[in-house]
Chains A and B, each alone.
Chain A
Amino acid sequence: MPLDNVVFWVFAPISVASAIGMLLMRNAVHAALFLIVNFFCLAVFYLILDAPFLFAVQIIVYAGAIMVLFLFVIMLLGVDRGDDLRERLVGQRPLAIVLGIGFVAEIVVATRAGIGLATKAPAGFDQVNQPGNAQALAAVLFRDYFFPFEVTSILLIVAAVAAMVLGQRKARAVTQAELEAMEGVNA
């Protein structure tokens, strides 16, 4: 059995189990930790799909930056309150699970019709990845996708400004009575 097959069948159950664990956890911190496990599994899949640059980006951006942001907000909002798991719409939960299973069945049928269940990846990806994955990716990114790349930088600036605007507390105007009270304390 080839090595990448072994790696896939070790990490695929872990990724599915951690996703299910994230759904079942009442505590938001535990759910976030399960999600980090899932992101690491996906990074390993990128590695066996010959995308080592995305492997590094996945760990740095997702498992590092984004999940730290999530945990920071969870801590900020308080972790002691568990999620309220009562069902308010009757039958919503079973219906969601049935829909999920139906979606997976649809994906299996579509994959079988589209690319076949046993199609192996073609050889010759080493030539695509010349001289290295990061260099080849940079060549494509800065030649064919230069305009979208620049647009993304605008998007990031807009997102940073939006986060600052949304995150600031509104400064309330001080009323005349409060001003006099403060001056009275200081005097």
Chain B
Amino acid sequence: MRTPIASFVILSGILFSLGTIGVLVRKNALLIFMSVELQLNAVNLALVAFSRLHNGLDGQVLAFFSMVVAAAEVVVGLAIIVAVYRRRGTVDVDQARGLAG
């Protein structure tokens, strides 16, 4: 394999920062959640790249665990979004201001 490992790591950083911008900018809770998924995937890419760099499988195992945890997180998060939608009729995070002074 002739691609430098650094290019994977930098690509993962770019994708992570795009996900961060999505979390900060978007108002729809579903789109914020998708941006979080993008961040999780970016970190997985870095894990697999470092696993290749260090000639071990631990990074791949960790990426596998993070996928399982992400699946559980998506299930609970989407259930919460649906519950919020039933209660308030919107998924706009700016409308969820019940605790604002």
Chain A residues at the B interface, C-beta cutoff of 8 Å: 2, 4-5, 8, 12, 15-16, 19-20, 22-23, 28, 31-32, 35, 38-39, 42, 45-46, 48-51, 53-54, 57-58, 61-62, 65-66, 69-70, 73-74, 76-77, 83-85, 88, 92-93, 96-97, 99-101, 103-104, 107-108, 111-112, 115-122, 124-125, 128-129, 136-137, 140-141, 144-145, 148, 152, 155-156, 158-160, 162-163, 166-167, 169
Contacts and interface: CB of A to CB of B under 8 A. Distances in A.
For the side of the interface on B, what is the size category? 35 or more
A129 B78 CA distance: 36
A42 to B, nearest CB: 5
Contacts of A93: 25
A95 B71 CA distance: 31
A28 B20 contact: no
A57 B67 contact: yes
Contacts of B81: 73, 77
Interface string B3-45: 1111111110111111111101111101101110110010011
B1 to A, nearest CB: 5
A112 B13 CA distance: 13
Nearest to B9: A111
Given A115-B9, A122-B53, A124-B55, A137 B67 contact: no
